[in-house]
Structure 1
């Protein structure tokens, strides 16, 4: 494949890595593949990034930061209903703005490795906090189950339905998650 020519070298490396990680998986894409695709030497690639895990961290850190901010913003709301609404809407907005990167986090198990533990633990922590907020104050185990189901129902389809316009998908995901949260727990 011809090298990608737009932007500065670091940006081209990140764009190329995201594409290769998405199409080949994180584990399968090599530093050599990235360098060749960008049109630079492998030593030049290492001048910009010390490792593949550093590239992954550079890709996922901005959306993770934004997810953490969305969850913190939601936690500051005054009622459980407002908190739930803002957790779901805020997380969806971030995830829809970063669909390709979210595909790495949600669909590629190879991103969870010893080299990526620090970054991936942030992802797990933000998801856990979002689910906790969705469950509300003093939830029983059924409410916690519903909260986890609602979060998954609202976020998992983002990577599966890439052909659906973001605004339409957002509205339907919010609608579906709300239905799950509002259903009474079965006896």
Structure 2
């Protein structure tokens, strides 16, 4: 398994670990409006989902500007979901990533990324996977801080913990 695929598996595990923690908390915590990085944990999780989905479209051949067009609608749909609903959406998206990894033998393949916000850049598929992972890690940290702000403990989603959780 390539490093990029291993890191994606960590990302999927960390998202699942966070969703599992959110399911343990009082039901209102997930959508409670607060003054923080995002206005609710549900909006932060929906953002992670939307960005993950957009990047998958890009690595499978959609131009970035086209991949970003449905982002607002995808975000709204993800925000409307319960934790269980978003969990199912993440599970389906993770399976789509795994299909991509099985079909794309060369993650070191370079593509031209025409980012409407930053310009044109040649980028390897593995770099995009690492962007997905890094973006999720960043925002799971936001969610941990938001939970703490609301008086609840978060959950560890560090990469080193993933090593030991997935020995099998």
Compute the TM-score of the two structures, normalised by the length of structure 1. Answer: 0.29
1 or 2, which has the higher strand percentage?
2
Task: Tell me: higher relative CO, structure 1 or 2? Use CA pairs within 8 A at least 6 residues apart.
Answer: 2
After TM superposition, the score normalised by the length of structure 2 is 0.31
Greater helix fraction, Structure 1 or Structure 2: 1
Q: Which has the larger radius of gyration?
A: 1
